[in-house]
Amino acid sequence: MNKTILMYRWNSNSEAPFAAAMEKLGFQVISFEKPIRDYHADAAFAREFLERLHACKPDAVFSFDYFPILSSLCEINGLPYLSWIYDCPQYTLCSRTLGSRANYIFCFDRVYAQRLQQAGAVNCVHFPLGVLPESFERVIGTASPQMLKQYRSPISFVGNFYNGEQNRFRQADLGEYARGCAEGLIEAQRRVYGYNFLEEAIPEAVSREIVEKCRLTMGELYVCNPRQMSADTLGMEVSARERERVLEIAAQCADTAVYTGSRLPETLAGSPNLSNRGYADNASQMPLVFHESGINLNITSKTIVSGIPQRILDILACGGFCVSNYQPEAAEYFSDGEELVFYSGEEELREKLLYYLEREEERRRIAQRGLEKVKKQFSLEKKIPEMLRIAGLGELV
């Protein structure tokens, strides 16, 4: 039986593990990597994609995150388009193509999945992300002692500080009232874990001004919710401030390594206990960071309302010890103090960092249980067959 998946690749970190897992399950994975210039009407992209599609005759098309042009091309050709969402927000999902019956949208965040269903996504399910632990094990197992030592640190954080051009709030010329209201909401949300109230709390007039001044309009091919878009804009700023503050606290507790492609915030640049080690390659360096760090921090973006971010799964799949902000779905799957550790405020974070820094054996036991849970419930080799069955492709498994 033909078992072929045409996979659109756009340099997502999850693509290589997914392809490896598919091949291990007996699928032929055909990659297509041409950049998309227009998400709805890119003639050159469509022509080359259709040539590849007709040549390999796949059973389905797959991508991480959602691309409207792929949805349209799959609908025309009677093929299922499987899209695994791991970014929040993702505004291509506001496309009018969302309701196509060719789409099978797998969304890692339960709240976001419900929002997509309400917006007309007929084949959309909540579907947590997955990992391929063996890909990390190979990197860790073949690293020399000198290389492992290079990535050793009491505390580490791998991620973005959201302080660049993508943070439109910082660049917007808002009026005095809108700016004051936004600042109040940002600071209030920064102190609340496990519940995002920005969309329901933001006044309509402030929402409209943020959409205008932050240039969030997208055109007639999209159906957008201005309140949600403005809330997401504030959520990014909440995340920027939270990450800055969490790293301040971490550096007060012990030497802290930061791996980021972002500019280091000014409040952190002069810290004697914090070192900026630059960007960590996801495939070759990140596993070593997670495995060798005493404590790995996960600071979930506030735009991810309920879902388990990929970073938590990656840390645990590397055998790393994870301290994470409280996240509703993570708390459903992982036991606090047993498989990872949650914090719900700045003082609790400080207390738990100081506590676990002094207890290496306890960290090891928790990390081992976290690794076992990830292998049991989040392995891509188990999640892919489930995904295919949901998409009506169970006969391929």
Is residue 359 in a domain? yes
Is residue 230 in a domain? no
- Condensed to tens digits (0 to 9), the pLDDT of residues 229-281 reads 999 999 999 999 999 999 999 999 999 999 999 999 999 988 999 999 999 99
- Condensed to tens digits (0 to 9), the pLDDT of residues 120-130 reads 999 999 999 99
Is residue 54 in a domain? yes
Distance CA(368)–CA(320), nearest Å, equals 8
Alpha-carbon radius of gyration of the chain = 22
Is residue 17 in a domain? yes
Dihedral pair phi/psi, residue 19, rounded to 5°: -60, -40
3-state secondary structure of 29: strand
Domain count, the chain: 2
Residue 19 structural domain:
4-130+380-396
pLDDT for the residue numbered 220: 92
Can you give the CATH number for the domain in which 166 is found? 3.40.50.2000
Strand partners, 27: none
Give me the residues of the chain with pLDDT under 50, please. Answer: none
Domain identity same for 115 and 138: no
Domain identity same for 107 and 161: no
pLDDT for the residue numbered 2: 72
Domain identity same for 301 and 352: yes
Residue 325 near residue 358 (C-beta atoms within 8 A): no
pLDDT for the residue numbered 111: 96
Domain identity same for 116 and 144: no
- Condensed to tens digits (0 to 9), the pLDDT of residues 78-88 reads 999 999 999 99
Q: On the CB side of 223, how many CA atoms lie within 13 Å of its CA? A: 11
Domain identity same for 287 and 166: yes
Domain identity same for 322 and 389: no
Is residue 315 in a domain? yes
Note the Cα 139 to chain centre separation in Å. Answer: 22
pLDDT for the residue numbered 37: 96
